[in-house]
Amino acid sequence: MTASNPYAQELLSTLLKGKVIIVTGGNSGIGKAIVKEVARLGARVVIDYRSHPEATEAIEQEIGELGGTCIGVQADVGNLDDLQRLVQEAVSRYGRLDVMVNNAGIETRTSILDTTPEDFDKVLNVNLRGVFFATQYAAKQMIAQGGGGRVINISSVHEDWPMPNNTPYCVAKGGVRMLTRTAGVELAGKGVTIVNVGPGAVATPINDSTMNNPELLAKLNAAIPMGRMAQPEEIARVVAFLASDAASYITATSIFADGGIMQSSPGL
Ligand code: BGC
């Protein structure tokens, strides 16, 4: 799309204009790319973050300088009081909530044999319990304000595809897969749609240990039909589409952006 094409300009500038969007874990990795992309398309963005306020401030400044609208809110998605306050702050600042992007996530890279109860609780608390109740609080607000809304859960290829030695993460993402399907069916009649985005391997801090190990990185790239990891912006653009009215008929399902990794086969 070029700037000289008035049709394209119109489409871009109306895609997300004025929509109020919360992005959890919005100051790094995929979350940061989503925040910047939806702000660029005219959304009013609430950047949830747990740590590194300076990273949030830098994003706020960048978006402000480009004429966009956003605020940072410190809230831990593993804490339900924080989650409730996050939704309330979005509403008190911008008057409503249109899209909830549950992006924050962690992993321990531990197997069934070496995962401690603490590892398990930590991962499930953020990646599943937090997503469950963020969906509940957001949906209640969307129903109360009228006009419906959308929940987008940043899941993973591992909601359906095993990742040995990352068992609690896979268990949590499998739960998010079924949460989206079940809650999506429950809320469809109330105007709230729910969809998962399942990225493959993305060049973000969660994958630092792989990216810093040339042997491991080569192994990973070889397993991806497209031969490379995704850049966070390639996931953010999918989320921007799903947050827009263009995606109005998508619910209770998952969209994968994985370079083909889930279908990869050595052809044996
Ligand atoms: C995980 C990464 C993994 C990638 C591809 C992501 O969901 O967080 O650790 O490399 O999936 O397998």
Question: What pLDDT, in 10s, does the model give residues 118-159?
Answer: 999 999 999 999 999 999 999 999 999 999 999 999 999 999
The pLDDT of residue 9 is 62
Kindly name the residue from 7, 137, 169, 249 that is annotated as catalytic: 169
pLDDT of 1 above 60: no
Which tokens belong to 191? Answer: 């105007």
Q: Residue 105 CA: which ligand 1 atom is closest?
A: 8
Question: What pLDDT, in 10s, does the model give residues 95-123?
Answer: 999 999 999 999 999 999 999 999 999 99
Where residue 4 falls among pLDDT bands split at 50, 70, 90? low
- Atom 4 of ligand 1 has which residue's CA nearest to it? 201
Question: What pLDDT, in 10s, does the model give residues 69-81?
Answer: 999 999 999 999 9
Give pTM, 2 decimals. 0.95
CB 243 within 8 A of CB 195: no
Residue 72 three-state SS: strand
Dihedral (CA of 5, 10, 15, 20) sign = positive
Summarize the confidence of residues 4-19 as an average pLDDT: 75
The pLDDT of residue 169 is 98
163 lines ligand 1 (CB under 6 A): yes
The DSSP-derived string for 135-171 is HHHHHHHHHHHSS-EEEEEE--GGGTS--TT-HHHHH
Distance 157 CA to ligand 1 centre (A): 8
CA distances from 81 to 40, 100, 143, 230 (A): 30, 17, 20, 34
pLDDT of 219 above 50: yes
- C-alpha 26/C-alpha 36 separation (Å) is 9
Per the annotation, the verdict on 169 as an active-site residue is yes
CA distances from 87 to 8, 19, 82, 260 (A): 33, 14, 9, 35
Domains of the chain, first to last: 6-254 (3.40.50.720)
